[in-house]
Copies of this chain bind each other. A is one copy, B any other.
């Protein structure tokens, strides 16, 4: 007798730290845990990362690890959250004072290059975001992040094309942004030369759309 219902479809809530570290000592230990996890992900990928190994390398017991992270995904999620927070500021700054088409062209091109470079250089980031589709919580984080970033782009578009339908601009910005993330992920999974070509092609395609009409 098994469940015939599909419990998966419900919104799996993101697991927040089981208990926020309130003492200095534990805050440092949590940092060590995250650093250990980051190193292990860089070496082996998040899938091969073992919780026991994270604990060992951080110099804490497995129990302590689970005191602050409800499960394995939460560890990865915590790292992912840091990256998004960092990049958000960078993106906001780059797009804030774009005033004309040429400005957008330059700022956008730079942003894509930075993003591409980050993925090429950061194995942890690459690993985390490539698992994004499979993990519901990460997928939600990525979507939320993408929406937030797309909003900066939307703001620019509304400035440059005040006559256009706002909803359409929002859709365009969101789509272009997501396509960019997909393009970069694609680019790093083929050889470097083709990757560069793909990123260039994406830039052209995105800008054509952003500056249309």
Contacts and interface: CB of A to CB of B under 8 A. Distances in A.
Contacts of A93: none
A54 B197 CA distance: 43
Nearest to A146: B186
Nearest to A5: B43
A47 interface: yes
Contact of A194 (B132, B171, B198): B171
Given A133-B130, A143-B189, A183 B175 contact: yes
Interface stretch (A27-35, A63-71, A201-209): A201-209
Contacts of A133: 130-134, 185
A168 B197 CA distance: 8
A156 to B, nearest CB: 17
Interface residue SS majority, chain A = helix
Interface in A153-174: 167-168, 171-172, 174
A57 to B, nearest CB: 9
A34 to B, nearest CB: 19
A139 interface: yes
B186 A172 contact: no
A175 B201 contact: yes
A48 B47 CA distance: 16
A44 interface: yes
A142 to B, nearest CB: 10
A68 to B, nearest CB: 24
Interface of A: 2, 4, 6-8, 43-45, 47-48, 53, 130-134, 139, 143, 167-168, 171-172, 174-176, 178-179, 182-183, 185-186, 189-190, 194, 197-198, 201-202, 204-205, 208-209, 212
